[in-house]
Amino acid sequence: MRLVLVGPPGSGKGTQARLLHERLGLPVFGTGDMIRDAIRRGMALGKQAEPYIAKGLLVPDQLVNELVADLFRGPHPPDQFVFDGYPRTLDQARWFDQFLAARRLPLSAAIQFAICDDEVVRRLSGRRVSPTTGAVYHVTDRPPKVPGVCDLDGTPLVQREDDREEVIRERLRGFHQNTDKLAAYYGDKGLLKVVPAVGPIDSIYLKMANQLTGRA
**Which residue numbers are catalytic?**
13, 88, 127, 160, 171
* Phi, psi torsion values for 92, nearest 5 degrees: -60, -40
Would you say how long the chain is, in residues? 216
* Residues 99-128 close enough to bind ligand AP5 by CB under 6 A: 123-124, 127
Per rule CB under 6 A, is residue 21 in the interface with ligand AP5?
no
Helices 165-174 and 44-55: crossing angle in degrees, nearest 10, is 100
User: Could you tell me how many residues of this chain bind ligand AP5 (CB under 6 A)?
Assistant: 35
Q: Is 31 a binder of ligand AP5 (CB under 6 A)? A: yes
Could you write out the DSSP letters of every residue in 155-199?
PBPB--GGGSHHHHHHHHHHIIIIITHHHHHHHHTT-EEEEE--S
Which residues lie across from 142 on neighbouring strands?
138
- How far the first Cα of the chain sits from its last, in Å, is 18
Closer to ligand AP5 by CB, 5 or 192: give it: 5
Nearer to ligand AP5, 32 or 144 (CB): 32
Q: Is residue 14 a contact residue for ligand AP5 (CB under 6 A)?
A: yes
Q: CA-based angle 184:190:194, to the nearest 5?
A: 65
Distance CA 162, CA 180 (A): 20
Which range, of 85-93, 96-104, 147-155, 188-196, touches ligand AP5 by CB under 6 A? 85-93
130 counts as binding ligand AP5 under rule CB under 6 A: no
Q: Does 46 bind ligand AP5 (CB under 6 A)?
A: no
Specify whether the CB–CB gap between 182 and 110 falls below 8 A: yes
The window from 21-29, 37-45, 81-89, 182-190 that contacts ligand AP5 (CB under 6 A) reads 81-89
Does 88 help bind ligand AP5 (rule: CB under 6 A)?
Answer: yes
Beta-strand relationship, 136-138 and 109-114: unpaired
Residues that bind ligand AP5 (CB under 6 A): 7, 9-15, 30-32, 35, 52-53, 56-59, 64, 85-88, 92, 123-124, 127, 136, 138, 141-142, 162, 171, 201, 204
